[in-house]
Amino acid sequence: MLLVSDLAFQRCIHPHCGTTVDLADTSFQCPKCGGLLDVAYDWDRLPVPKSLKHFESKWSNRTDPLDFSGVWRFRELFPFAPDDRVMTIGEGQTLCQRADGVAAYCGMKPGTTYLQYEGMNPSGSFKDNGMTAAFTHAQMVGARRAACASTGNTSASLAIYCAASQLMRAVIFIGSGKISYGKLSQALEHGALTVQIAGDFDDALRRVQEVSRQLGIYLVNSINPFRLEGQKSIMLRVLEALKWEVPDWILVPGGNLGNSSAFGKAFIELTDLGLINKPPRIAVINAAGADTFYQLYERNGVRWNGGKPDDRKVGVYMKYLDDADKRADTLASAIEINRPVNLPKALRALERCGGIVREVTDSEMLDAKAKIGAGGLGCEPASAASVAGLLKLVREGVIDPGERVACVLTGHVLKDPDATVAYHTADQKVFEEKLGKRGVRRVNFANRAVQVPNDLTAIVQAIELYA
């Protein structure tokens, strides 16, 4: 099915190439240079809101499923789909909550720190923002099967959209032992075909791309530029919550780098369209056990360079990973990725947004996760990378305590309940099995159960002592 349009199309991200591709193309690869593609628009011929306050009017029409969606109410900023082809399940009903407790933990002043909580999405993670857009495009091109490689959240999201629509079958690829049961259960419950291969996420992603090409299956991993169009809406909701004022910093966990790429594209477009004066700075936070982006950006000096990144340095580092058989290894399974497919787009985002990259340990993430949870928002370990990164950047003097920051929490606490229970348990065997063997030796904010006899007096005494 051809979707020929000169208002919305796909375009190679490299300025020296700039090849355009029809909207219906599902190879998601530049046919000329092999680069990644953007969804692009002829903004000169499209109706663009005069200000971001325009979107406030959508709230008066919440009986319309598109205006109810926290993604599609901003559809004028990613106008690739006609309204009657959009597939929505009410995604994007999320919070951007002031978090003074987290601010105090990180050394920030009260009223400066906000948590963008994506765990409220239907599948429990930010992936639904992108999946609604990718699934919409899949419908537009007549797909009957859709596939992804996943550490868990993408598979859960794809499965729920396939199940809710009954329009296509979900096929998911996972690596050996590289998915939490909380996430796997969602894919199984929603009827996805699950293919577990010997290898990690990087292996699964390579295979799912090969299989999708061979069998003509629609691919929904973040190499798909339509995925990233939907994920732009996360930043639009942050701005909405802050009364359209741009924060100084956005902090986001870095795995496959889809979010950092999407956020960068959102702010670049908003700046170029004159809807904001300047973008915020973006800090991408890697797990120390999956820190390819940190190593390339901060240690090896790889930059976008106006569309001409140093591919030699990237190639050398990737060869090192292969030669050393170095695999990603972190408790933060959602970002346990060594070969981020969106590396070029993330480099572009950081160039335009004055970005930086940091890495944090599993212990730092778990402590940050406990402080986040104590404030009322439960998140999975990878989510807490953003707050652990904030603590580090404040201590480094990079972020001033008075600056306004938004930390993205990407997934719900029940995505990986085993990590939470192990952190707070007094059972050494449980702790060692989940955390100790991954290098975690100490937890600073454990909330352990109090052991008491089945005796009323002892129970009352314990409550009075501890509460």
Domain ranges of the chain: 95-123+225-418
Q: What is the mean pLDDT of the segment spanning 325-332?
A: 94
Among 125-129, 177-181, 265-269, 364-368, where is mean pLDDT lowest?
177-181
Question: Residue 49: how many CB atoms within 10 A of its CB?
Answer: 14
Residue 183 is predicted with a pLDDT of: 83
Going by pLDDT thresholds of 50, 70 and 90, the confidence category of residue 177 is low
Q: Which residue has the tokens 């809710």?
A: 164
Residue 62 is predicted with a pLDDT of: 86
Query: Is 292 in contact with 317 (CB distance < 8 Å)?
Result: yes
Would you call 10 helix, strand, or coil by DSSP? strand
Residue 178 is predicted with a pLDDT of: 63
Helix (H) or strand (E) holding 207: helix 201-215
Q: What is the mean pLDDT of the segment spanning 99-103?
A: 98
Length of the chain: 467
Would you call 194 helix, strand, or coil by DSSP? strand
Q: Residue 71 corresponds to which tokens in the numbers above? A: 């993604």
d(CA 351, CA 61): 38
d(CA 322, CA 327): 9
Sheet holding 8-12, edge to edge: 20-21, 8-12, 37-41
Going by pLDDT thresholds of 50, 70 and 90, the confidence category of residue 1 is very low
Report the alpha-carbon angle 274-275-279, nearest 5: 90
Residue 376 is predicted with a pLDDT of: 96
Q: Residue 160 corresponds to which tokens in the numbers above? A: 């729920």
Report the alpha-carbon angle 52-53-55, nearest 5: 80
- Looking at the chain, the whole-number percentage of residues with pLDDT higher than 70 is 99
d(CA 393, CA 388): 9
Q: What is the mean pLDDT of the segment spanning 308-323?
A: 96
d(CA 358, CA 254): 9
Going by pLDDT thresholds of 50, 70 and 90, the confidence category of residue 5 is low
d(CA 110, CA 104): 7
pLDDT at position 466 over 90: no
Sheet holding 281-287, edge to edge: 95-98, 113-117, 405-409, 249-253, 281-287, 356-360
The 10 Å CB-count burial string (b at 16+, else e) for 273-292 is: eebbeebbbbbbbbbbbbbb
Q: Which is nearest to 185 in space by CA: 155, 221, 163?
A: 155
Going by pLDDT thresholds of 50, 70 and 90, the confidence category of residue 2 is very low
pLDDT at position 322 over 70: yes
Per the prediction, the chain carries an average pLDDT of 95
CATH of domain 95-123+225-418: 3.40.50.1100
pLDDT at position 97 over 80: yes
Phi/psi region, residue 224 (left: phi>0; alpha: psi -120 to 50; beta: rest), is beta
Residue 3 is predicted with a pLDDT of: 57
Q: What is the mean pLDDT of the segment spanning 327-343?
A: 95
Q: What is the mean pLDDT of the segment spanning 159-185?
A: 88
Would you call 250 helix, strand, or coil by DSSP? strand
pLDDT at position 160 over 50: yes
Query: Is 132 in contact with 72 (CB distance < 8 Å)?
Result: yes
Query: Is 335 in contact with 260 (CB distance < 8 Å)?
Result: no
Angle between helix 153-165 and 181-189 (nearest 10): 20
d(CA 196, CA 331): 19
pLDDT, tens digit (0-9, with 9 covering 90-100), for 34-90: 999 999 999 999 999 999 999 999 988 989 999 999 999 999 999 999 999 999 999
pLDDT at position 442 over 50: yes
Residue 124 is predicted with a pLDDT of: 97
Give 182 or 450, the one with higher predicted confidence: 450
Going by pLDDT thresholds of 50, 70 and 90, the confidence category of residue 201 is confident
Going by pLDDT thresholds of 50, 70 and 90, the confidence category of residue 280 is very high
